[in-house]
Chains A and B, each alone.
Chain A
Amino acid sequence: MDRITYLASAAVVGMLAVWNPAAFAQSAGPVKLGLSAALTGPFNEFGEGIKRGAEIAIEEWNAAGGVLGRKVELAEVLDDQLIPDRAVQNMRRILDNQDIVAIVAPGPSGPTLAVVGMVVADGRPFCNSQAQTPTIVHPDGPDKPPHPNVFSVAMSISSEAEKLGTAVSAKYNNIGIISESTSYGKLGAELIRKSVLGIKPNATVTAETYNQRAQDMTAQLVRLQRAGAEVIVFVGLGADATVLRKTMTRLEIALPLYGSSGLVNVAFMEGVGDLAVGVRATNATTFGQKPFPAKTQAFLDRYRAKFGNDRWYGADTENPLISMAPLVTGAYDCVNVLLSGIKRAGSTEPKAVVRAIEDTKDMPGLLVPSIAFSPKNHSAFSPSDLAIYEVKKRGDKLALDVIEK
């Protein structure tokens, strides 16, 4: 091989080494994002919420001229019905599309945990808006390095557990926990136990589990009652919380009921009616401030103009459903995180975007009022972004009031 041929070969190899097909493919057309979520099926409140939040954020960016002078497009929107296997298939399709430059994570933990490995191997920026399991972002613990390209604005169960543990240990010495038998539920129960015992080492904590869609929770409740529980903390979703609240009423168990954010969703409020009064649950501070901050109000106005008073917003225009915060606004924040990263990087090249996202500081958000990341911390949500709400009766309506920030 002569000298010229050698140099030419080296130059080609060097160009190939730095060439990124995603960045190349994106140099002209719109900036394309992808997502897989539960758009149909029994859990479509999660996926449809993500899609709606993402759509509004993209419309705002496009109205302002797009990013890097190009329009933004939600190019791959795939339905996984919250089934992990299907989420994996969808994510494979998204990752095989080299035009996609950033990805919004599937909803809850099951499908997100199923895809996170392949996303990490790929390297394109990935933002989680709903899944609460901390290991999605920090696989080896909160003090250890995060996955390089995985970011989260979601309410983590660790934040909720800390908030709930602090709240109940301030008032009670014997705490009963009922959690769903999923990894999310078990982790939540364990973190609450640790939080309580960390604050009050002599407290008694008893934990019971149930299978999702259980029709009765008598065994769990009488066991907690026998253990002398003074309060019940619930980790699960609203439809199951309905069964819990009704079973408590049937058994005449009048203990205070606290719960994670899934407790006070539409299914629970409609399912138990006035029995919801007095129930306390954590949720984002997003809709706890009245009047709403200008950014929140602007989002709500745009949402209602686009989708109306739908099942996510609720019938009461002045008081949107609090479940909108984790279900819809997280995806809105995620898209803004990803596109802001692209804008600051001046490129769609994955490593540059990831570095730019890690430099995010004090970015206004909805689910997280002030979004910040660092190379060591890829989770923006903290316990201070949570409040404890109580269901109260106002006239003939049920409303949620912040009772503890």
Chain B
Amino acid sequence: MNFFLTLVLTGVSVGSVYALIATGLNLSFWTTRTLNFGQGSIMMLCSFGFAFMVTNRVSLPVAIGVCFVVSALIGVVVERLTVRPALKRGGGSMGWVVSTLGLGILIQGLAAKFFGSQAVAFPEILFSVRDSVRIAGVAFSLQYAVVIAITLTVILSLELFLRHSRLGHAVRAVSEDAEFARVQGIPVDLIVVSSFVASSLLAALAGLLAAQIGGTVDSSFGFDLVLLGFVAGVLGGMGSSAGALFGGIALGIITKLVGGYISTAAEHGIAFALLMLILALLPNGFFGRNEVRRA
């Protein structure tokens, strides 16, 4: 029982990070039907920069503030310089895939140049690695608990914002039909760029939480996590907050159970094969919906 519970609790914790990343990807998907594949570099830049600042005696709140401001600015750059020009060309252009990835690789290269290429220690922000509670006799790290709590809070807040605020309704209107929303006087451009800013902020937050778990960060940090976040988003249904949460946690639990009961070498291989099977049966994921496009 302890064996199973340990794997499930860890799966939920690890999956919460995937869910947070998937939620960040959803934000830009809502407004532009695009994904920022450079999210991993934003995660890396924030956590790497944070570690660098704290090592150089910058206080934690200031370092976190700087990380978020820089990440927000990158969100603006992503929308203005990579996604918007690609979408303007229309015709179902997939240019944004290359340009968001390209910007991510550029950020990675710059980070390696300025911070160095080696892994550096990441400080503990919330709780120590030794802090834990016992759940049914199993030690459960408070660092993991924080990740779950923050993910749930963010996703719940986002859902409340979308459903019960005027601005949230405006975002949904843009998501449904941007041109019609523009005719209605909704500041579509502002909402679109804001979605990229919010998406980048979530990536930054996910980066800080994941780096604290691992304990080190380097310039390659984040790329694998974004891939898993993307898979979580697709599994749950791209564009759905509940789907991101479900997909992330399901992916986390499946990989841990496969690793624990079948083989750690096949942890990702078997888990991904299972996901392919699920997606073959449910192409829009568990919470996705079919889209009807105008001719």
Chain A bound to chain B: yes
A283 contacts B by Cβ under 8 Å: no
A-facing residues in B235-269 (Cβ within 8 Å)? 256, 259-260, 264-265, 267-268
B279 contacts A by Cβ under 8 Å: no
Contacts A44-B117, A222-B3, A267-B120 given; does A250 touch B264 at CB 8 Å: no
Find A209's partner among B10, B112, B143, B265 (CB 8 Å cutoff): B265
Report chain A residues within 8 Å CB of B130: 249
B-facing residues in A54-79 (Cβ within 8 Å)? none
A45 contacts B by Cβ under 8 Å: yes
Binds A, one of B22-30, B72-80, B173-181, B208-216: B208-216
Tally of A-B residue pairs with Cβ under 8 A? 107
Report chain B residues within 8 Å CB of A238: 119
A218 contacts B by Cβ under 8 Å: yes
Contacts A223-B260, A251-B6 given; does A246 touch B214 at CB 8 Å: yes
Q: Are B139 and A267 in contact (CB under 8 A)?
A: no
Q: Are A270 and B120 in contact (CB under 8 A)?
A: yes
B14 contacts A by Cβ under 8 Å: yes
Q: How far is the CB of A75 from chain B (nearest CB, A)?
A: 25
Report chain B residues within 8 Å CB of A311: 116, 118
B129 contacts A by Cβ under 8 Å: yes
Report chain A residues within 8 Å CB of B117: 40-45
B291 contacts A by Cβ under 8 Å: no
Interface residues on B, range: 35 or more
Report chain A residues within 8 Å CB of B3: 222, 226
A166 contacts B by Cβ under 8 Å: no
Q: Are A215 and B214 in contact (CB under 8 A)?
A: yes
Q: How far is the CB of B213 from chain A (nearest CB, A)?
A: 6
B32 contacts A by Cβ under 8 Å: no
Binds A, one of B88-96, B97-105, B154-162, B219-227: B219-227
Q: Are B216 and A239 in contact (CB under 8 A)?
A: yes
The residue of chain A having its C-beta at the shortest distance from the C-beta of B143 within the complex is A250
A243 contacts B by Cβ under 8 Å: yes
The residue of chain B having its C-beta at the shortest distance from the C-beta of A237 within the complex is B119
Contacts A41-B112, A210-B264, A250-B143 given; does A215 touch B213 at CB 8 Å: yes
Q: How far is the CB of B215 from chain A (nearest CB, A)?
A: 4
For B7, B10, B17, which residue has the most chain A Cβ atoms within 10 angstroms?
Answer: B10
A213 contacts B by Cβ under 8 Å: yes
B287 contacts A by Cβ under 8 Å: no
B-facing residues in A6-44 (Cβ within 8 Å)? 40-44
Q: Are A250 and B144 in contact (CB under 8 A)?
A: yes
Q: Are A219 and B260 in contact (CB under 8 A)?
A: yes
A401 contacts B by Cβ under 8 Å: no
Contacts A42-B112, A213-B220 given; does A218 touch B214 at CB 8 Å: no
B-facing residues in A113-131 (Cβ within 8 Å)? none
Report chain A residues within 8 Å CB of B219: 42
Q: How far is the CB of B226 from chain A (nearest CB, A)?
A: 13
B132 contacts A by Cβ under 8 Å: yes
Report chain B residues within 8 Å CB of A215: 14, 17, 210, 213-214, 225
Minimum-distance CB pairs A-B, first 10: A219-B259, A270-B121, A239-B119, A250-B141, A267-B119, A218-B10, A242-B215, A271-B215, A271-B216, A271-B121
Given contacts A215-B210, A270-B121, 17 further A-B contacts (CB under 8 A): A44-B118, A209-B264, A213-B220, A216-B14, A216-B214, A219-B264, A222-B6, A223-B264, A226-B3, A242-B121, A242-B215, A243-B215, A246-B213, A250-B143, A267-B118, A275-B129, A311-B118
